[in-house]
Amino acid sequence: MAFAWKASGLTYNKYLSVAARVVRRSLKDDKRLAAERRGEMELRFAKWNNGKQGDNKSVADANAASMAEAGTQSS
């Protein structure tokens, strides 16, 4: 017997993400806002050179800059 999320083609992580979003949206406004803030993630990274850590950068910002740079190079 397969789980419903597996039968529908979802990964377990995607299933958990969808379930958490549904629960957050079902809460009353004050509790919902606090839960939505907890559900946000911001990934950061830093490049290391010669044993020294560089500046921390947001993955989303770095990805957007990379995509913009790739778009200008292909034109």
Q: CA nearest 45: which of 63, 30, 71?
A: 63
The larger pLDDT score, comparing residue 41 to residue 29, is at 29
pTM higher than 0.85 for the full model?
no
Per residue in 4-33, pLDDT (tens digit) is 878 888 888 888 888 888 888 898 988 888
pLDDT number for residue 1? 45
Domain ranges in the chain are 1-40, 43-74
